[in-house]
Amino acid sequence: MLTYKLIQKNQELLVAFYGAVDERSPAVLNELLARLNATEVVLDMEAVEYFNSLGIRAWAHFVKSLVAGRTVSYERCPPDFINQINMMPLLAQSIEILSFSSEFICPDCNHSQRENFDAHLTKAQLLNAFEKATCSQCGSGLLPDEDPETILYFKSQQKTN
């Protein structure tokens, strides 16, 4: 079940989400909308476990209402959420993506790890950063678990790449 924590940070309100975005989420998201009075909102997505189809629908309605009259951004977007944004760009319409993570695997020791990236970097800089990722276990170069162009598709949807 989806839950959240509100954290005031200077002029912006951080909303840290936890759990699954599913058929039970509309009530939580509507209650959150009713509580929000901040004009700058950051949505921390790191602890969102998954989205099902009904959850995606609820999320799309939520963000459409949320952006009205507010500056909204996403931070710490997990790979599954970036995949959802890549399939449905309207999930990030009028919402800046600040940071995201991607899964990597080591071809030498088979260790998998998640790497974090600053979404303000250009696509070329991010592709370069992907190539430089190293294994925390053996120090070898890592390989992204998906095609980097596919992972970074959202960059082509943003106003600046």
pLDDT 10s digits, 54-100: 999 999 999 999 999 999 999 999 999 999 999 999 999 999 999 99
What's the CATH number where 45 sits? 3.30.750.24
Give the integer Cα–Cα distance in Å for 119 and 134: 19
Give the integer Cα–Cα distance in Å for 59 and 128: 32
Domain identity same for 140 and 159: yes
Give the integer Cα–Cα distance in Å for 153 and 79: 12
Residue pair 55/20 in contact by the 8 Å Cβ criterion: yes
Q: Is the pTM of this model over 0.85?
A: yes
Domain count, the chain: 2
